[in-house]
Structure 1
């Protein structure tokens, strides 16, 4: 593995060099173990500690399928799906791997007693399968996390509609929180040359998710002048939504939980901000069994104070149960609630009268298709949207990094160095970077 790292750090990107590099028998990877899925039984979600369930193991390199690539991973990032995997909620991911393993001889490789996690990467291609022509060893890449088979007609209008759609590193094995990773070659995208390894690894999942949810015709189809309420506006997902809304000429109304997070939103260019902790909204009673519509109305009043009397055209929803009733209420007549997650609980409740009688729409959104992922990555490459990396951990510290995300102790995205020996490496276009240095570092050390 040292020889692979040295080749990458040398700057040599010739196909011959990487084709001839010997591969080790094993590599280090962050895993959860199938025989530990009951380890947190009886504990509340918040009390489940990823540091106990996430392991750093030496694992063998599996056989490469004809349509796959083996990537030397320089950096990765933590997403909430790694939190879910590590605490075995809402279900163990080993069920995903078992079902995938029944599909064909190559998918069978994924059904193992360990699950290598992680849905982001930046790195260099080492090997490609015999059917791959677009990507060559030595190419610097990032990866989106959509894994599909495309044997069914359903996926050929929108790849997210493929019946075999899965999220790599969550519903498949061989993820990115490791020294090596296996991806389908059609997951690969060019690495933005003005970013470090850890910066370029951090946008993948959340940037693409925000793009489909907010911008794409498959999601909210945001337009010039729209007002959009963004929950968790300084977080891993919301921070990209804020940037996209501003770039599109829309007006984000940013919901945050501290003055520090409010300042980050202002640094991105947002002006309308609600500190939900300072406002002390209580959408549910103490035992979380009944909602308080008066609090929905109080939120709506606050929004109108900020917007000059207007309700929002769209709500960018991802907290789920805690906020969904309020989101439905505060959306304008004819507006949209676009939801992509349920980090506070997936059994949503809302008053349907405010939906049906006001002709509002709830739109579901999940990750992004191939085209949307490329378009989102191009926004990063062109400097229209910037990484929101706040902190970077070593591979040995993935458990702590995941715990921090689990307890919402972070801003933006949390990165992980895998093969990269230190932060700050990987920039090959310093002139381009100089134009965006301030924006790239907005979230740093927050």
Structure 2
């Protein structure tokens, strides 16, 4: 790995030389272990510590198959799916690996007693398998996390509909929190040249997810002038949703939990902000068994105060149980609630009268297809949308990075340096970077 790292850091190594570099027999990766799935049994979710379950260890290099690529990973990032994997909630991910392993002899490689996690990366292609023509060793890339087989007809209009659609590094093995990752070649996209390795790695999952959920016709189909309610508007997902709303001529109504997060939203250009801690909305009673419609109403009135009497066109939903009843209530007649996650609980409750009688729509949104991911990455590469990276950890401290996200101790995204020895490396287009450096660093050191 030292020779591979040196070739990448040199910055001028001819591409053809990467194909000649010998591959290691083993590499360092962040894993969870199958024999530890009961490690946190009986504990509340909030008390489960990823530092105890995430291991940084040597693993064998996987076999390269048709249509695949091995990528030297310079940097990765933490997503909530890595937190779920590390605390074995809502289910152990080894069930995903077992089911994938039964699909074919090739996918059997993924069914191992350890799971290499991580759904983001930036790095350099080392090898490509038979049938790969677009990508060559030496190319600097990022990867989106959609893994599909596309042997069924269902996925050929929207690849997210493939019956064998999975999230790489969560429902498959050989993820990005490692020195090497195994991906399908149709996960690869060009690395934005004006970003560092860690900055380029950080948007991946959340940027593509936000694009489909809010912008794409498969999600909110946002248009100019829409009022968009964004929960967690400065967070990993919400930070991109806020940017897309502003960039697309919509008006974001940003819900945050403290003044610092409100300041981040203002620095992006948002003006309508609700600090839910300051205004003390209580959508549920104290024992979390019943909702309070009066609080939905108070929340709706506050939105109208900010918008000049207008209701919400699109709700960017991801907290789930805690907020979903309020989200349905405050959406305008004929409006849309798009949902991609449930970080506060999967069992949603809402008053269906406000949905059916007002012709509102709930749209489910899960990651993004290759085209949507490519468009989202293109906007990053053009400097129209910016990373939300706040800090980075070395790979050896991946457990602490995951704990930060689990405990919501972070802003935006938390990066992880894999082969990159330090932050700040990998910039190729300094002129473009200079134009956007303040926006790139907006979340830093918060």
TM-score between both structures, scaled by the size of structure 1:
0.99
Task: Report deviation, 1:105.
Answer: 1.2
Matches within 5 A, 1:55-134: 55-134=55-134
Q: CA offsets per residue over residues 378-402 of structure 1, 9 Å max, x none?
A: 0101111000100111101110010
Separation in structure 1 between the aligned mates of residue 216 and residue 28 of structure 2, nearest angstrom:
37
The worse-fitting range, judged by mean Cα deviation, of 11-20 and 144-153 is 11-20
Separation in structure 2 between the aligned mates of residue 352 and residue 63 of structure 1, nearest angstrom:
51
Separation in structure 2 between the aligned mates of residue 159 and residue 13 of structure 1, nearest angstrom:
35
Report the equivalent of 2:166: 166
Where in structure 1 do 4 or more consecutive aligned residues deviate above 4 Å?
none
Matches within 5 A, 1:281-360: 281-360=281-360
Separation in structure 2 between the aligned mates of residue 284 and residue 39 of structure 1, nearest angstrom:
31
Report the equivalent of 1:21: 21
Report the equivalent of 1:377: 377
Report the equivalent of 2:392: 392
Q: Is the 1:338–1:365 contact (alpha carbons within 8 Å) kept by the matching residues of 2?
A: yes
Report the equivalent of 2:431: 431
Give secondary structure in 2 for the equivalent of 1:20: coil
Q: How big is the alpha-carbon RMSD for the aligned residues of Structure 1 and Structure 2? A: 0.6
Separation in structure 1 between the aligned mates of residue 327 and residue 291 of structure 2, nearest angstrom:
13
Task: Report deviation, 1:13.
Answer: 4.1
Matches within 5 A, 1:133-144: 133-144=133-144
Give secondary structure in 1 for the equivalent of 2:221: coil
Report the equivalent of 1:278: 278
Structure 1 residue 365 and structure 2 residue 365: aligned? yes
Separation in structure 1 between the aligned mates of residue 145 and residue 84 of structure 2, nearest angstrom:
16
Give secondary structure in 1 for the equivalent of 2:343: coil
Report the equivalent of 1:147: 147
Separation in structure 1 between the aligned mates of residue 339 and residue 71 of structure 2, nearest angstrom:
32
Task: Report deviation, 1:286.
Answer: 1.2
Separation in structure 2 between the aligned mates of residue 66 and residue 314 of structure 1, nearest angstrom:
41
| Unpaired runs of at least 5, structure 2 | none
Q: CA offsets per residue over residues 54-74 of structure 1, 9 Å max, x none?
A: 000100001100110000000
Separation in structure 2 between the aligned mates of residue 381 and residue 91 of structure 1, nearest angstrom:
36
Give secondary structure in 2 for the equivalent of 1:310: coil
Report the equivalent of 1:9: 9
The worse-fitting range, judged by mean Cα deviation, of 4-13 and 179-188 is 4-13
Structure 1 residue 422 and structure 2 residue 422: aligned? yes
Q: Is the 1:325–1:348 contact (alpha carbons within 8 Å) kept by the matching residues of 2?
A: yes
Separation in structure 1 between the aligned mates of residue 423 and residue 22 of structure 2, nearest angstrom:
26
Q: Is the 1:230–1:238 contact (alpha carbons within 8 Å) kept by the matching residues of 2?
A: yes
Structure 1 residue 404 and structure 2 residue 383: aligned? no
Q: CA offsets per residue over residues 330-383 of structure 1, 9 Å max, x none?
A: 001110000000000000000000001111000000000010000000010111
Separation in structure 1 between the aligned mates of residue 168 and residue 147 of structure 2, nearest angstrom:
6
Q: Is the 1:13–1:139 contact (alpha carbons within 8 Å) kept by the matching residues of 2?
A: no
Separation in structure 2 between the aligned mates of residue 64 and residue 79 of structure 1, nearest angstrom:
26
Report the equivalent of 1:196: 196
Separation in structure 2 between the aligned mates of residue 345 and residue 402 of structure 1, nearest angstrom:
19
The worse-fitting range, judged by mean Cα deviation, of 11-20 and 369-378 is 11-20
Task: Report deviation, 1:140.
Answer: 0.1
Separation in structure 1 between the aligned mates of residue 442 and residue 139 of structure 2, nearest angstrom:
29
Separation in structure 1 between the aligned mates of residue 435 and residue 347 of structure 2, nearest angstrom:
45
Separation in structure 2 between the aligned mates of residue 357 and residue 48 of structure 1, nearest angstrom:
42
Task: Report deviation, 1:287.
Answer: 1.1
Give secondary structure in 1 for the equivalent of 2:255: strand
Separation in structure 1 between the aligned mates of residue 83 and residue 156 of structure 2, nearest angstrom:
31
Q: CA offsets per residue over residues 71-98 of structure 1, 9 Å max, x none?
A: 0000000000000000100000000000
Report the equivalent of 1:241: 241
